[in-house]
Amino acid sequence: MNTAQPETIQRLDYTVPSFLVDHIDLTFDLAPSATSVSATTRFKHNPASDSREIVLNGQDLELVKIVMNGRTLEKPDYALDHGELRIPNAPDDVTLVIDTLVRPDKNTSLMGLYISNGNFFTQCEAEGFRKITYYPDRPDVMASYTVTLFADKKKYPVLLSNGNLVDQGDLPKGRHFAKWEDPFKKPSYLFALVAGNLVCQEETFRLADGRDVLLQVWVEDGNLDKTPHAMESLKHSIAWDESRFGLELDLDRFMIVAVSDFNMGAMENKGLNIFNTRYVLANPRIATDQDYANIESVVGHEYFHNWTGDRVTCRDWFQLSLKEGLTVFRDQEFSADRTGSDSGRAVKRIEDVRTLRQVQFPEDAGPMAHPVRPDSYQEINNFYTVTIYEKGAEVVRMYQTLLGRDGFKKGMDLYFKRHDGNAVTCADFLAAMADANGRDLSQFELWYSQAGTPRVKLESDYDSLNRTLSLTLSQSCPPTPGQTEKKPFLIPIAIGLLDAHGKEIPVRVKGSDNASDTCVLELTQEKQTFTLVDVPEKPVISALRNFSAPVILEFEQTDEELLHLLANDTDSFNRWEAGQRLAMRRLLELTHAVRENRPLTLDKPFIDAFRTVLTNTSLDPALRELALTLPSETIIAEKMDEIDPRAIHTARQFMRKTLANALEKEWQKAYKNNLTDGEYRPIPQDAGKRALKNLALSYLLLCDSTDTCHMAIDQYRQANNMTDRLAALTSLVHSGCMQKLPEVKELLEHFYKEYENEPLVIDKWFSLQSTSPTTSIESIRELMEHPAFTFRNPNRARSLIFGFCHNNMAQFHAEDGSGYEFWAKYLLELDRINPQVAARLARCMDQYKRYVPSLRQPAERALKQVSKQELSRDTREIINKTLSA
């Protein structure tokens, strides 16, 4: 750690590697306190480079020996400084043998080779391989790998690495070995090994071409009953990629391994995916409906990386969204298709856009704003962001919107034909899409190079005499760090029209012979007018259908028009959106009223609109649940120039309580009508009913009646699944029932004792308390003293510390600044253990300069206090950018 300013790496400074690697042979003698690593690497000079210097990266390594072409090197044959080992004047062909020692049991960063629950695991993306051996640790150096693992057989009976198992056997003194070969060239970040006492569920799966492959899900003993859903998700993923994109599994086996200590969600190492346990382990006793959906999505995501990330990878880390944005889009489409219905696809789309607005839009408006393809970074770990992933996925989705599903598939086919086995750039992907469809997409490149969320203003003018509708669209994008001037984007705006009876009016643009219910207008200039013809009456406009572009739409519509869309729009996303806009108007007004000490009221037409949605049984329950969930406090804050977190919380709680009391009978009926009897099934239909029922319960607990608390207590006691049990307990704690009824505290204690041997459930126990508006900072500190809490496990730290700082607006933003002091203290403690996780915690202060003055000053004081301390590169970059924004 250091207090110096980290070096800034620029995208335009990219140079090709001076030497390429043909093959690397790795040998590990595994021991927790001192693992010996021997790497034999064959280098060839890169004819595209004028340099004759071999540059190898290394971090936290003990160098034992270097042998080049049979000769042991001594200084000054090489230089070792600042994490780089340099060998000057190397010949064209070089074989290097490098022996190192690493200390896995001391590695709390969870990058490189580390120990978790007595087992060995690796995490090498982005720059973890350099903590294993000296190597050109960059994604554009691709090589084939042979890996041999030696270990004590009793302690580590399972030895895994990438590719195919080619040899294994016993050795003297109770030891054994396993040898793995990966036939496909890969960059170092995709290397993986696992060694330990594990068990697996395995199945043989037949691919579309008739070939049988072995699928394995490896877990710690005692968790085998929690693997079937992950296995089924893997099989569905393989089948979907074959049918949707014609992409097959290319290895003889595919392995998933679950580990409890993991910085990320999962990692797509070639053929050996390593997962956070939260995205593998599930059964009705410990997993919610959302857990089941997340597991299927993440398993799909990592499997889809086999082609979009492994077979074709990124040239440098600036191109990260090339693989991540594309693969998020693929897993979103997979999850949507898996719902099996149009309403299911709409639910998935709404959920994805809510995430974008709640997390990515604030990032675009804050000090860490960066393009989908960044221009610079100081620590690459900080750029695994929602901009790279979720906004990157929206950029990929726009290709499909512009080119059509078939055109997108043609572009994907050409992309793989051109680049299979190579490390490429976002520009290469764009070129494949353009060339396959004969389109000029040069303007579309701005989505990669310009940061910020574009704003699109829509104005309409109906001409009844000529039966035309003029739509004037104008776009702008606010300044972001390093970018003050923005050029116009190519923005696809999907438009639909409804008549007075709620029926679709065919949309036809002047000059076109085609008419359809939805038309995609391509906005390419700062301001453009589109004329729609044959419009028989003044319509209600349904704009930006299915959220056709990641923009903020500014379009003035009356409450009556929004109510019309809420009741009739055939585009389910915009039907939901109309309700959100109606609610947001009132939430913003209520927030201003709180700040100005004015009386708080909620108008009857809005309450009636809410009632109409709640009682509309023709709507899918999952869609109703989404429509009846108010915009989050974070999304409300994004609509305000000056953020007053406690006023926002007060306003939103007032609206929820008012809707609860005004619609108590309707909530009661919705609760009873959506009970799911019998055996628990994590299918979309049942999950939607549970979601609506549990939303109704959360509203009922806000009614001025204690009977509803007993209703939730009964649900907790009678539940046969984690979804209903956790929802009941969360509603009881968050509503304040714990202060009214002693039974609630007893239930909280019962929940812990019932699941104390289930770490993922104990994470939920910490989280439901840390996010409760009734939980004070003092209570959080008490929870940190609980024997089950530890900073060293990222999931546990996220459940308590992150839950409070990121998701408890009412308590974290205390007027006395105690929340910020808490954040500063534990950020520093976490940074000493795991910088990557600490840097994520630092992000909760991104927006501090927009806080009201009474909060801005203590927030800045806490930030400056942190900035004066010794920090990791990861956290230093975040703090500096936040203060200097």
Residue 3, pLDDT score: 54
Give the whole-angstrom CA distance, residue 491 versus residue 551. Answer: 9
Give the whole-angstrom CA distance, residue 467 versus residue 454. Answer: 31
- Residue written as token pair 């200590």: 261
- Residue written as token pair 């043609």: 410
Give the whole-angstrom CA distance, residue 875 versus residue 572. Answer: 41
Give the whole-angstrom CA distance, residue 13 versus residue 10. Answer: 5
Tell me if the bond preceding 365 is cis, omega within 30° of 0.
no
Cβ pair 219, 258 in contact under 8 A? yes
The SS3 call for residue 732 is helix
Beta-bridge partner residues of 469: 462, 532
The one-letter amino acid code at 501 reads H
Tell me if the bond preceding 76 is cis, omega within 30° of 0.
yes
Average pLDDT over residues 56-65: 98
Phi first, then psi: what are they for 588, rounded to 5°? -65, -40
Average pLDDT over residues 516-533: 98
Number of other residues whose CB lies within 10 A of the CB of residue 4: 7
Tell me if the bond preceding 293 is cis, omega within 30° of 0.
no
Query: How far from the centroid of its chain's Cα atoms is residue 343's Cα?
Result: 23
Residue 418, pLDDT score: 98
Residue 359, pLDDT score: 97
Average pLDDT over residues 413-437: 98
| Confidence bin at 677 (pLDDT 50/70/90) | confident
| Confidence bin at 77 (pLDDT 50/70/90) | very high
Q: CA 794 → CA 95, 141, 269, 470, 671, distances in Å?
A: 39, 30, 20, 53, 36
Query: How far from the centroid of its chain's Cα atoms is residue 567's Cα?
Result: 32
Closest to 262 in 3D by CA, of 793, 791, 766? 793
Average pLDDT over residues 427-446: 98
Question: Which residues, 6 or more positions from 152, have their beta carbon under 8 angstroms from its beta carbon?
Answer: 174, 175
Residue 885, pLDDT score: 87
DSSP calls for 109-147:
S--EEEEETTEEEEE-TTTTGGGTS-B--STT--EEEEE
Question: Which residues, 6 or more positions from 775, have their beta carbon under 8 angstroms from its beta carbon?
Answer: 733, 769, 804, 808, 811
Structure tokens that stand for 115 in this block: 């120990």
Burial 130-165 (b: 16+ CB within 10 A, else e): bbbbbbbbbbbbbbbbbbbbbbeeeebebbbbbbeb
pTM of the model: 0.98
The one-letter amino acid code at 421 reads G
Whether 1 shows a pLDDT value over 50: the answer reads no
The rounded mean pLDDT for the chain is 97
Q: CA 574 → CA 395, 404, 493, 566, 836, distances in Å?
A: 20, 20, 13, 8, 38
Give the whole-angstrom CA distance, residue 584 versus residue 652. Answer: 10
**Cα distance from N-terminal residue to C-terminal residue, the chain:** 23
DSSP calls for 805-835:
HHH-HHHHT-TTSHHHHHHHHHHHHHHHH-H
CA dihedral 147, 151, 157, 163 (to 10 degrees): 0
Catalytic residue among 302, 324, 394, 633: 302
Question: Which residues, 6 or more positions from 780, have their beta carbon under 8 angstroms from its beta carbon?
Answer: 770, 800, 804, 822
Closest to 371 in 3D by CA, of 380, 382, 383, 362? 383
The H or E element that residue 338 is part of is: helix 320-339
Give the whole-angstrom CA distance, residue 438 versus residue 244. Answer: 22
Angle at 220 (CA atoms; ends 217, 221), nearest 5 degrees? 105
E runs forming strands in 444-505: 455-463, 468-476, 491-498, 504-505
Residue 123, pLDDT score: 98
Give the whole-angstrom CA distance, residue 878 versus residue 855. Answer: 20
* Structural domains of the chain ordered from first start: 9-304 (2.60.40.1730), 313-449 (1.10.390.10), 455-549 (2.60.40.1840), 758-885 (1.25.50.10)
Whether 449 shows a pLDDT value over 90: the answer reads yes
Question: Which residues, 6 or more positions from 556, have their beta carbon under 8 angstroms from its beta carbon?
Answer: none
Q: CA 627 → CA 303, 391, 572, distances in Å?
A: 32, 23, 10
Q: Is 351 a catalytic residue?
A: no
For residue 376, give the DSSP letter.
E
Question: Which residues, 6 or more positions from 236, have their beta carbon under 8 angstroms from its beta carbon?
Answer: 296, 300, 334, 338
pLDDT above 90 as % of the chain: 98
What pLDDT digit, counting tens, does each position of 160-185 carry? 999 999 999 999 999 999 999 999 99
Number of other residues whose CB lies within 10 A of the CB of residue 332: 23
Q: If phi over 0 gives left and psi between -120 and 50 gives alpha, with beta otherwise, what is residue 502?
A: left
Closest to 663 in 3D by CA, of 618, 700, 631, 636? 700
Beta strands 19-29 and 9-10, pairing class: unpaired
Integer-rounded Cα radius of gyration of the chain: 28
Give the whole-angstrom CA distance, residue 556 versus residue 560. Answer: 12
Query: Where do runs of H (alpha helix) occur along 834-870?
Result: 835-842, 853-867
Structure tokens that stand for 422 in this block: 């190579």
Structure tokens that stand for 251 in this block: 């290895």
What pLDDT digit, counting tens, does each position of 338-397 carry? 999 999 999 999 999 999 999 999 999 999 999 999 999 999 999 999 999 999 999 999
Cβ pair 182, 162 in contact under 8 A? yes
CA dihedral 722, 724, 727, 730 (to 10 degrees): -70
Structure tokens that stand for 653 in this block: 């709680």
Give the whole-angstrom CA distance, residue 243 versus residue 429. Answer: 21
| Confidence bin at 708 (pLDDT 50/70/90) | confident
Angle at 407 (CA atoms; ends 403, 409), nearest 5 degrees? 130
The one-letter amino acid code at 111 reads M
Number of other residues whose CB lies within 10 A of the CB of residue 750: 14
- Residue written as token pair 């040069």: 442
Counting runs of H as helices and runs of E as strands, what totals does the chain give?
Answer: 30, 32
Beta strands 272-276 and 253-259, pairing class: parallel
Give the whole-angstrom CA distance, residue 856 versus residue 643. Answer: 10
Phi first, then psi: what are they for 319, rounded to 5°? -95, 20
Give the whole-angstrom CA distance, residue 339 versus residue 684. Answer: 6
Give the whole-angstrom CA distance, residue 346 versus residue 626. Answer: 10
Residue 6, pLDDT score: 79
- Residue written as token pair 């903020």: 552
